[in-house]
Amino acid sequence: MNLTQEDWWKKLQEDDNAVILDVRTEDEWNDGIIPNAINIDIYKGQGFIYQVEELDKSKNYYVYCKAGGRSAQACSIMNQMGFETTYNLMGGFSEWDGPVDMPK
């Protein structure tokens, strides 16, 4: 499901079962992240699939990339893999004006 930044963040704040998934490249990840995100680069192709398979399908996934395209694709792939709840951040990190952390 595609959500505006405001709706995505509001829903995330109220969700005790949330996982934030960043599907950008490592270089993009190093520019800053939405706090508590995990990174699985969608450009890794089959590697992305393998890593996503290890995730808990009972969680709700809040997915973002740089502009919203790759994360929409990731949500679609995840839904096909049996993940019931994925939320795509429209506009992505490039339009994000919420909190930002630097990855450790």
pLDDT of 8 strictly over 90: yes
Boundaries of every domain in the chain: 2-95
Phi and psi at 39, nearest 5°, equal -115, 125
- List, for residues 64-83, the tens digit of each pLDDT value: 999 999 999 999 999 999 99
Q: Which of 19, 65, 74, 78 is catalytic?
A: 65
Could you confirm whether domain 2-95 is CATH 3.40.250.10?
Answer: yes
User: CA-CA distance, 70 to 30, in Å (whole number)?
Assistant: 17
Q: How many whole angstroms from its chain centre is CA 75?
A: 8
**What residues are paired with 61 via a beta bridge?**
19, 86
Tell me the C-alpha to C-alpha distance, in Å, between residue 59 and each of 19, 56, 85.
7, 6, 7
**Residue given tokens 């890794």 in the structure block:** 44
- List, for residues 15-30, the tens digit of each pLDDT value: 999 999 999 999 999 9
pLDDT of 61 strictly over 90: yes
Helices (H), 1-104: 5-13, 26-29, 46-53, 69-80
75 is catalytic: no
